[in-house]
């Protein structure tokens, strides 16, 4: 043991002597494809900056969410962490746990990133978040399955219900979903809320301004109940992670999945080109069409030891070249506005967003984290026990009053 410690000490002293700068990045990119692409970006960075040595610690997505608070409050945190824009970032910035990074943008944030991303990346007029990529949500399906069954992509709620019936009549699960981790149910809630009540209402709700017992909320769950009580969702959804639930879509056992573009990260190669998506159906034609467009990226802990090294790395990640590589490899939309959509699938997603009437991040990214956790637990409980709706909404309202008092 003593010999091992001496070796570690020798290596550390040698690296310091050589002027090697150590950099630690904690990442939630644990799915194989994003992990591969990020590792390749790190290799590119080290080739460009040979005086830097980067250690990437990768954690399962859900574990990362739990551990992040511990790292940010530690006296020895990583230098850079992956995370989400919006309220999820602002919560930590408001606790003075993040380092402002506005100085990495030599010509200003808006020189390379959309003005629309400023509010999602800042807190009290200071930038704390570097956007890397963003993506759309849609109802994913296999083109070959729809063609075989003669299904036309639905535009309205009535047409959507008809598609569910057709799939069910052909012994298929109409909608797959995995709610073992709660956020997938929040996607269903977001879209129903935006289609029933509009985006202003949805944003006021996530800001704590609307009671969960409001009539608008009850209307959302009445539409949701149609899907639950007609048996359109996969059984035992709480048993599956989102990736496990996606397998039912890939194998043709399920017809549809409301999910983000990253579903293609886990799709088998022979299925990827058969995947397509459509906009969540219209419920009220008098309302605009609104979408979820989450933004992923990086932050720096306030207690980071190697801040200059971290900022050098973040400058690299912000560059057009690095953003284009990440987006192209994964079929995402780069946050850097100088990077075009990498393929036809991404172009379709971008066109859908550009033709929308407004966007929000996502329920658990726009909501206070404590309220988001309570809300998502309530959504999953409703999907399992829809008869408990009144009690669920009363409990959520009690939480809202406690958290936003």
Residues 375 and 316 in one domain: no
Number of folded domains in the chain?
A: 2
Residues 253 and 389 in one domain: yes
Name the burial class of residue 323, with classes exposed (0-12), middle (13-18) and buried (19+) by CB atoms within 10 angstroms of its CB.
buried
Residues 278 and 237 in one domain: yes
Helix (H) or strand (E) holding 141: strand 137-142
Residues 282 and 162 in one domain: yes
Host domain of residue 165: 137-292+368-403
Helices 183-197 and 199-206: angle between axes, nearest 10 degrees: 130
Distances (CA, A) of 112 to 18, 86, 297, 322, 330: 35, 19, 15, 13, 20
Residues 281 and 299 in one domain: no
- List, in sequence order, every residue forming a beta bridge with 139; answer none if it has no partner: 258, 278
Write out 353-366 in H/E/C secondary structure. Answer: HHCCCEEECCHHHH
Question: What tens-digit pLDDT sequence spans the chain (405 residues)?
Answer: 445 444 444 444 444 445 789 999 999 999 999 999 999 999 999 999 999 999 999 999 889 999 999 999 999 999 999 999 988 899 999 999 999 999 999 999 999 999 889 989 999 999 999 999 999 999 999 999 999 999 999 999 999 999 999 999 999 999 999 999 999 999 999 999 999 999 999 999 999 999 999 999 999 999 999 999 999 999 999 999 999 999 999 999 999 999 999 999 999 999 999 999 999 999 999 999 999 999 999 999 999 999 999 999 999 999 999 999 999 999 999 999 999 999 999 999 999 998 999 889 899 988 998 999 999 999 999 999 999 999 999 999 999 999 998
- 362 domain residue, yes or no: no
What is the pTM (predicted TM-score) of this model? 0.88
Of 122, 140, 121, 62, residue with least CA distance to 345: 140
Residues 57 and 141 in one domain: no
Give me 370's structure tokens.
């404590």
Residues 171 and 81 in one domain: no
Please report the beta strands in 88-136, taking only residues with DSSP state E, as ranges in sequence order: 122-123, 126-127, 130-134
- 358 domain residue, yes or no: no
Residues 122 and 152 in one domain: no
Using DSSP's 3-state secondary structure scheme, residue 5 falls into: helix
Residues 314 and 257 in one domain: no
Residues 84 and 97 in one domain: yes
Domain of 156: which CATH number? Answer: 3.40.190.10
- List, in sequence order, every residue forming a beta bridge with 310; answer none if it has no partner: none
Residues 284 and 305 in one domain: no
């Amino acid at each position: 043991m003593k010999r091992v410690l001496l070796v570690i000490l020798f290596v550390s002293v040698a690296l310091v002597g050589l002027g090697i700068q150590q950099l630690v990045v904690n990442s939630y990119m644990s799915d194989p494809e994003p992990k591969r692409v990020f590792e390749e970006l790190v290799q590119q960075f080290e080739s460009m900056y040979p005086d830097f040595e980067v250690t990437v610690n990768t954690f399962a997505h859900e574990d990362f969410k739990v551990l992040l608070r511990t790292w940010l409050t530690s006296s020895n945190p990583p230098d850079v962490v992956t995370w989400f824009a919006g309220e999820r970032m602002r919560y930590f910035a408001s606790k003075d746990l993040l380092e402002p990074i506005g100085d990495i943008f030599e010509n200003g944030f808006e020189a390379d990133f959309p003005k629309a991303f400023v509010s999602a990346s800042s807190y009290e007029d200071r930038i704390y978040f570097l956007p890397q990529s963003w993506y759309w949500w849609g109802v994913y399906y296999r083109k070959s399955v729809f063609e075989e069954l003669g299904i036309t992509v639905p535009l309205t709620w009535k047409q959507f219900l008809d598609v569910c019936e057709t799939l069910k009549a052909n012994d298929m699960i109409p909608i797959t979903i995995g709610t073992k981790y709660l956020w997938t149910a929040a996607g269903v809630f977001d879209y129903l809320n935006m289609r029933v009540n509009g985006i202003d209402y949805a944003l006021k709700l996530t800001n704590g301004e609307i009671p969960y017992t409001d009539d608008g909320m009850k209307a959302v769950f009445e539409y949701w109940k149609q899907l639950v009580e007609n048996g359109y969702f996969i059984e035992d959804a709480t048993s599956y992670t989102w990736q496990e639930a996606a397998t039912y879509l890939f194998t043709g056992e399920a017809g549809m999945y409301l999910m983000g573009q990253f579903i293609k990260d886990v799709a088998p190669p022979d299925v990827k080109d058969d995947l397509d998506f459509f906009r969540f159906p219209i419920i009220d034609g008098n309302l605009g069409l609104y979408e979820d467009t989450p933004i992923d990226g990086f932050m720096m802990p306030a207690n980071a030891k190697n801040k200059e090294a971290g900022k050098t790395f973040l400058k690299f990640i912000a560059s057009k070249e690095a953003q284009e590589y990440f987006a192209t490899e994964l079929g995402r939309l780069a946050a850097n506005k100088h990077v075009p959509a990498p393929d036809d699938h991404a172009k379709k997603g971008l066109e859908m967003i550009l033709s929308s009437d407004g966007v929000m991040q996502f329920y658990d990214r726009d909501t206070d984290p404590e309220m988001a956790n309570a809300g998502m637990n309530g959504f999953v409980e409703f999907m399992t026990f829809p008869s408990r709706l009144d009690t669920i909404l009363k409990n959520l309202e009690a939480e809202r009053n406690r958290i936003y008092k």
